[in-house]
Amino acid sequence: MDHKRRQVLALIATVVAATSTSCLHAAWPGGARPGSSPDSGGGGRRSGGRGGLAGQAFCGFSGANSQADLRAQLQLLDSTGDWRLDQGMSVEYQALNSAFGRRPWFSMFNDAGSPNALASAAPIFGGDGTVLFGRELMASEFRHLGNAALTAIAGIMAHEWAHIVQFSTERQRFRNGARMELHADFLAGWYMGMKYNVSQHLTGYGGDISPLANTLFRLGGTSFHVEHSHGRSDQRVDAMLGGFMDSTQARNGSVRRAYSNGLRTADQLLRS
């Protein structure tokens, strides 16, 4: 395996290792939405909101979460806690909207004790669905990866945006949870490939990918999710690598094309 391929695999494996995905049905209490509406772009953040989420299906990144955990966790935050990260997330938000052609409402939330990120088809506060990213998940990535966590964070966000596209396109095709997750992994890899196409080098937010690659090859890819629900770890890495290579090699970089290719890849991997 050549050096470039190892770097690509390291990038992809980090996003997979950072995520233990499961689709949860969150029976959160209903109630009034936060008093002030988000900006027209759908990316506003509000603190402490609990409105309109009862019974909504969320796809998220932590198999350990129970419905009770989610009810207790739902506290929207107006910041990552670092203004530089806030700016970086804002830039990534716009890039994701452009690449995927969807503009969900996005917020940080308090996931203390159970690192997580979530996506829902429900337009809770407007926009094309809802994406929540946990502050503890972000902190955990920095503890494990240092500045290389920026790449993993971008990949996690892309995985959630992929779910938004799935929800709005043909959700009935994803009764198989593993198929849904492998397809989202493919689209996350596709997005990271789009970033590669723009920068022409493997970076996330301008950071060097080599520390991330060194960490992954030293520790190995052992922190993966339950196989029967979401596919084997090697299947997810292959799905994301497939998306990355599809993006970097294709002349047509449309998400529609990637969506179709991702379905075929997910089906092939599930037969393997």
Please indicate whether residue 222 or residue 166 has the higher confidence score (pLDDT).
166
pLDDT the model gives residue 126: 81
92 CB contacts (<8 Å, ≥6 apart)? 153, 154, 157, 205
What's the pTM?
A: 0.72
Domain ranges for the chain, please list them: 3-271
Q: Is the pLDDT of residue 269 over 70?
A: yes
125 CB contacts (<8 Å, ≥6 apart)? 33, 34, 37, 38, 42, 44, 46, 49, 51, 105
174 CB contacts (<8 Å, ≥6 apart)? 166, 180, 183
Q: Is the pLDDT of residue 64 over 80?
A: no
Give φ, ψ of 108 to 5 degrees. -75, 155
Tokens of 66: 């129970």
198 CB contacts (<8 Å, ≥6 apart)? none
- Condensed to tens digits (0 to 9), the pLDDT of residues 101-131 reads 999 999 998 888 877 788 888 887 788 988 9
- Condensed to tens digits (0 to 9), the pLDDT of residues 195-217 reads 876 665 444 434 343 333 333 22
Question: pLDDT band at 32, cuts 50/70/90?
Answer: very low
Share of the chain above pLDDT 90, in %: 18
Please indicate whether residue 118 or residue 44 has the higher confidence score (pLDDT).
118
